[in-house]
Amino acid sequence: MSWAPGTTVVVQEVWRGRLWSARPVTVVRDGGDLLALWCPRGTRWKTATTPPTRPRAPTRAERFVANLTLCDWVLGDFTWDVETLCLVRSDDWHAVRVAWRDNPDDPLGKARRTFWGWYVNLQEPLRRTAWGLQTMDLMLDVLVDLDLRWRWKDEDELQALLTHGLLDAAVAERVRSEAARVTRIVEDRDSPFGGEWSDWCPEPSWTLPELPDGWDRV
């Protein structure tokens, strides 16, 4: 199964058979080993949040642990706030998000957006479905600046899942190994961190992707 450029598909995150999030994206490229997906700023999407029936924990890590343990989360409405091109290859345990910031105050209109850098999201390998893709965020991330300096993000959340038995030790080790592999790619300036995607622009005719009927089917 492959999709033509411009097709809207849904990226779902699924935890123990239950929908954790659903985000509509536009297919940029689906060929060979690379899948490229565009999620523009302003895209409306759904993701898990604490239900109104219990107090909201004070930290993100505690909220993740509570939601994933009790499996009582509700899906809230959110808006994607950064223009993002997501690059993922078959069987990889991560996706690379190429990000741009808007420049609404540019007086000459010459810089509609500015390349911001890369955000590496550690996740389960993508699984294709009839209407999109399924994965699950594995909490650990790698932030990569324009000068290719990198740093970890959300190590505490990964450890919290491990501590509370929500993540198998072997999976956690696989995640850390994948993150280390990514940092070596960054330091070697290999694709996609060489800058070949930094000037990419969507087709002018593309509009904000919207969640289609059936977005909540797992």
Residue 12 lies in a domain: yes
Residue 212 lies in a domain: no
Q: Has residue 32 got a pLDDT over 90?
A: no
pTM to 2 decimal places: 0.92
Residues of the chain by 3-state class (helix, strand, coil), percent to 5: 20, 40, 45
pLDDT the model gives residue 107:
46
Q: CATH no. for residue 174?
A: 2.40.380.10
**How far, CA to CA in Å, does 213 sit from each of 18, 47, 142, 216, 217?**
18, 17, 33, 8, 9
Q: Quote the percentage of the chain above a pLDDT of 70.
A: 96
pLDDT the model gives residue 108:
45
pLDDT the model gives residue 203:
94
128 by Cβ neighbours in 10 Å (0-12 / 13-18 / 19+) ranks as middle
Q: What is the pLDDT of residues 189-208, one digit of tens each?
A: 999 998 789 889 999 999 99
pLDDT category of residue 18 using cuts at 50, 70 and 90: very high
How many domains, in total, are found in the chain? 1
User: What's the mean pLDDT in 76-95?
Assistant: 96
In angstroms, rounded to a whole number, what is the distance separating the alpha carbons of residues 98 and 90?
18
Q: Has residue 1 got a pLDDT over 90?
A: no
pLDDT the model gives residue 59:
93
pLDDT the model gives residue 37:
98
Q: Which residues pair with 114 in a beta bridge?
A: 101
Residue 202 lies in a domain: no
pLDDT category of residue 33 using cuts at 50, 70 and 90: confident
Residue 214 lies in a domain: no
The residue range of the domain holding 55 is 8-187
Tell me the pairing of strands 132-135 and 83-89: unpaired
In angstroms, rounded to a whole number, what is the distance separating the alpha carbons of residues 83 and 158?
26
Residue 39 lies in a domain: yes
Residue 204 lies in a domain: no
Residue 194 lies in a domain: no
Residue 2 lies in a domain: no
